[in-house]
Amino acid sequence: MKKSLKILTYSSIFSSLAILSGCTSLNKEEKEQTPVTEEQQSIYPAVSIIKTQQKSIEPIITLSGTITTKDEITIASEATGTVQKVLKHEGDNVSEGTTLLTLESQTNLLRASYSSAAVALDNARKSVTLAKKSAQQNLKDADLQIKNAELALKNATIAYERLVKSKDFKKNSNSATKESSEKRLEIAEKNLEIAEQNLENILENTSQTYITFADSISNAIESSFILFRNDLDFIDSLIGASEFREHSNDSFEISLKGESGNLINTMQTDWRILTKDIQDLEKYFTNFSQAQYSDTDYETLLPILSNTIEKAEMVKNNLRDLEKMLDLSISSLSFPETKITELKTQVKNMQSVLTERTATLKSIRQNIADFTIQQQQQTSSAELAITIRESEVLSQKSQDIAVENSKGTTDIAIDSEIEASKNAVDNAKNAVEFAKSQKVSISIQGDLAIQTAIAQMDAAQSMLDQAALSLSKLTITSGITGTVSKVLAFAGDTVSPGTPLVIISDYSELKLVSDVSHEESFLLRKGMKAEVSIDGISKVFVGKISTIYPEADKITRRVRIEVLIPNTDKIPANVFATARIKLKKQKPTIYIPSEVLTSANPPSVMILQRKRCKKSKDTAQEKCIAEYEGQKLYTLETKEIEIGTEERGFGIPVLSGLRRNQYILNEKGNFLFNGDIVMIKNNTILDNNTTEEIEEVKNATPEIKREDKKDTEEKKEEDIHA
């Protein structure tokens, strides 16, 4: 709403004061002098004068306009839907975050997208948990392998030490040694059998897991092809309906112009190639797919899975091009803007669903890779255990052979046994080092798998947050604390993004907005008090300047001012009001009319000095004349002054050079010069006291003149500071 502005300017204030006490003729109460005759005027020119006076003002700036609310917002819809229920009505007080109304989406894609994102996040969390458990289990298995290897090393070391210590004893006890050796061999062979069975179990579990992976890949690819067919049918329907047209009444559903033509040609070419590639891939998959898979079929399905992921990315690119095509579409009677918006929303939802599907396919591929690494580690650990057990069996067999051949060759057999035992210790040491290096590798692989799973979980969380944000747009809440001033939508109304729904106004404080000149803006400061009067209300309200805009309007060159008024008295908004801002009272200053200046550069005036005669004993000297026919005579003196740059309503400010109650020549064009003797015009009154004051100024002592000079310098400093 345009606001009117009434400002009591300096000019109007100064004009008013000039009428009351400005630079006028002398006071009528002064004594009249003898009128100057025509003869006298011909000898001494008669002039008019003005008396200097100091004036002080207390300026007031008045702002006028309409009071508005401190804050008001219009809440618009951010989604397409139908108003389901209006919870707040006009006049209701609301807080920030209060639900005002709810919308119902025209499509279930938002909720479906949210559900799909929630499922993806749950799967990602399970993957993180599984990766952590798997990493922990692998570390436990690695620790177990290390313990087994260390135990084997300990046993081999003990056996070696015993052989060394019992070398002499064994020479005489071959039979006992033979029995002990056979028993140890039996234990070693049993341990070897257990290790081989463990490897067989691992291989069997691996086979079953790969069969499960093959089923998962097949199901994921099959559901992806269903999604591809739906997306391609949708793309096909829009591309097929897209044509060029020049007039708005053409019958085509989608109108394209400019660069969109090249976009359609490119999309059509890419779409045909992509459609054929997907059909070929689906045909190849269909020929290969079967009811039951073997443990090696996943290797054949993995390239198909990667190819499916690649095709999903290509479909997403087509959908992005399609979204760009819709951005370039031109609405018509048969294809309105709302239809374009609905198709764009559907395209975005399809992109979201396709992104989730791509993430699922990549997750399956990653799980297979992680399991393959884990299986290889478990297999290596089992094979290592077999190697250790075989070493133990070999060692024990060597001992048996040594014992068997100990008859007649006891010393040689014992030495051979000791050597074999030493080799067993070395082998056990190597096994311990290998097991430790395997643990380091397993730890690195486990950390990598956990980080990958966490990254997938973060991506799923982001998708869920985005879906939740889209759903949250169906609930409209207040952005501020205030009052519902207008409800613009009602139950059953169909709205789209940008449709205004509710207007919320904050009536706790009101504001008056008005404009002032850029000169007056320098006199105002933020926080200044303003007395606000409202039409029809006798009470005067106190407000404060809250905002002074940093730049003026480019057209009017005026600066906008805002006055904030506390609304404790429940002042109604949109009423006319006037604000009065009192400025600081100025220091008294002398003002003169511009027409009394006898020169502009430098500024000069003519002042009147009373002509006096000194007594002289020289009778030959020409007689001094101070009066003529009873009329006092005056001498004109040119006086340079310093003036201000801004002329007020009653004259120009004099910064230095004049004092109050001095008399200045008030006419031009009479060919008067410095030193001329003049009289006062008829009806011009000159007071004796004033005359004496003029004389005192002229004949002032050096001390008085220095004091006058000091006053002038102080006045300059104050003016500069102001």
Which residue among 471, 494, 512 closes a domain? 471
Please tell me the predicted confidence (pLDDT) of residue 334: 59
Q: Is the pLDDT of residue 262 over 80?
A: no
What tokens appear for 464 in the block? 């869920």
Same domain, 549 and 593: no
Q: Which residues contact 219 (CB under 8 A, 6 or more apart)?
A: none
139 with 245, same domain? yes
Q: pTM for the complete prediction?
A: 0.33
Q: Is the pLDDT of residue 433 over 50?
A: yes
**352 and 308 belong to one structural domain:** yes
Predicted pLDDT of residue 77: 81
Which one is predicted more confidently, 341 or 25?
A: 341
Total domains in the chain come to: 3
Whether residue 640 contacts residue 584, with contact meaning beta carbons closer than 8 Å, is answered with: no
Q: Tell me the three state secondary structure of residue 300.
A: helix
Confidence band (pLDDT; 50, 70, 90) for 691?
A: very low
Residue 620 covered by a domain: yes
Q: Does residue 66 lie within any of the structural domains?
A: yes
pLDDT score recorded for residue 559: 92
Instruction: Report the DSSP pairing between strands 242-244 and 494-495.
Output: unpaired
**446 compared with 247, residue with greater pLDDT:** 446
Tokens 């989730």 belong to residue: 356
Residue 550 sits in which domain range?
61-98+481-582
Q: What crossing angle do the helices spanning 297-327 and 337-404 adopt, rounded to 10°?
A: 160
Do residues 441 and 521 share a domain? Answer: no
Residue 54 burial by Cβ neighbours in a 10 Å radius (0-12, 13-18, 19+) = middle
- Within 8 A by CB and 6+ apart from 357, the residues are 223, 224, 227, 312
Question: Is residue 182 domain-shared with residue 278, that is, in the same domain?
Answer: yes
Q: Is the predicted pLDDT of residue 690 greater than 60, yes or no?
A: no
Packing angle of the helix pair 337-404, 174-240 (nearest 10 deg): 170
Residues 238 and 339: their CA atoms lie apart, in Å, by 12
Please report which confidence band the pLDDT of residue 701 belongs to, taking 50, 70 and 90 as the band edges. Answer: very low
Whole-number Å distance between alpha carbons of 453 and 649: 82
The residue ranking higher by pLDDT, 708 or 45, is: 45
Q: Is the domain of 182 the same as that of 195? A: yes
pLDDT of residue 278 exceeding 70: yes
pLDDT exceeds 60 at position 18: no
Same-domain pairing of 434 and 466: yes
From 531, 560, 582, give the residue that closes a domain: 582
The pLDDT of residue 24 is 36
pLDDT at residue 404 tops 70: no
Kindly tell me the sign of the dihedral angle through the C-alpha atoms of 321, 323, 329, 333.
Answer: positive
Q: Is the peptide bond before 602 cis (omega within 30 degrees of 0)?
A: yes
CA angle 539, 545, 549 (to 5 degrees): 140
Nearest to 188, CA basis, from 383, 393, 384, 385: 393
Is 499 a domain residue? yes
Note whether 443 and 307 are same-domain residues: yes
pLDDT at 426 over 50: yes
* Interstrand relation of 634-640 and 603-610 (parallel, antiparallel or unpaired): antiparallel
How confident is the model over 41-75, as pLDDT tens digits?
457 888 888 888 877 766 788 888 888 887 778 88
- Least confident span in 203-207, 281-285, 523-527: 281-285
Beta carbons within 8 Å of 309's beta carbon, 6+ residues apart: 358, 361, 362, 365
| Average of per-residue pLDDT across 580-584 | 83
Mean pLDDT confidence for 426-453: 87
β-bridge partners, 541: 532
Strands 677-680 and 494-495: unpaired
Residue 106's nearest CA partner among 357, 346, 391, 406 is 346
pLDDT at 604: 92
The per-residue pLDDT for 669 is: 57
**pLDDT for residue 73:** 84
Domain boundary at 447, 471, 495, which?
A: 471
Query: Please, what sign has the CA dihedral across residues 190, 195, 198, 204?
Result: negative
Q: At 125, is the pLDDT very low, low, confident or very high (cuts 50, 70, 90)? A: confident
Query: Could you tell me the two tokens for 107?
Result: 């499509």
- Span of 120-134, 405-419, 589-603 with lowest mean pLDDT: 405-419
Task: Tell me what pLDDT residue 367 has.
Answer: 86
Quote the CA–CA distance of 324 and 267 in Å, as a whole number: 11
Same domain, 428 and 486: no
| Least confident residue range of 88-97, 161-170, 208-217, 406-415 | 406-415
User: What separation in angstroms does the CA of 300 have from each of 210, 296, 540, 549?
Assistant: 12, 8, 89, 72
Pair of tokens at residue 331:
């609405």
Model confidence at 171: pLDDT above 70: no
Q: What is the mean pLDDT of residues 567-586?
A: 82
Is 50 exceeded by the pLDDT of residue 116? Answer: yes
367 shares its domain with 492: no
User: What is the four-CA torsion angle of 697, 701, 707, 712, rounded to 10 degrees?
Assistant: 40
Average pLDDT over residues 83-104: 83
Mean pLDDT in residue range 34-40: 43
The backbone torsions φ and ψ at residue 643, rounded to the nearest 5 degrees and listed phi first, read -120, 160
Q: Is the pLDDT of residue 201 over 50?
A: yes
Characterise 27 by phi-psi region: left (phi > 0), alpha (psi -120 to 50), beta (else).
beta
Residue 412 and residue 555 share a domain: no
CATH code of the domain containing 94: 2.40.30.170
Instruction: Tell me whether residue 10 is in a domain.
Output: no
Cβ partners under 8 Å of residue 450, min gap 6: 128, 131, 132, 135
**Based on the domain organization, do 693 and 594 belong to the same domain?**
yes
Q: What is the mean pLDDT of the chain?
A: 75
In the chain, % of residues over pLDDT 70: 75
pLDDT above 80 (res 704)? no
Can you tell me the distance from the alpha carbon of 116 to that of 125, in angstroms, rounded to the nearest whole number? 14
Residue at 4 is within a domain: no
* Least confident range of 55-59, 511-515, 578-582, 696-700: 696-700
- Amino acid identity at 558: R
- Three-state SS across 425-437? HHHHHHHHHHHHH
Confirm whether 15 is domain-assigned: no
Is 6 inside a domain boundary?
Answer: no
The rounded distance, in Å, linking the Cα atoms of 588 and 580 is: 23
Whole-number Å distance between alpha carbons of 417 and 672? 147
Mean pLDDT of all residues in 229-247: 65
- For residue 484, report the phi and psi dihedrals to the nearest 5 degrees: -70, 110
Cα 300 from chain centroid (whole Å): 50
* pLDDT tens digits, one per residue of 450-474: 888 898 888 888 887 877 777 677 7
Mean pLDDT, range 594-603, rounded to an integer: 86
User: Looking at the predicted structure, is the pLDDT value of residue 346 above 80?
Assistant: yes
Q: Is residue 106 part of a domain?
A: no
For residue 407, what pLDDT band results from cuts at 50, 70 and 90? low
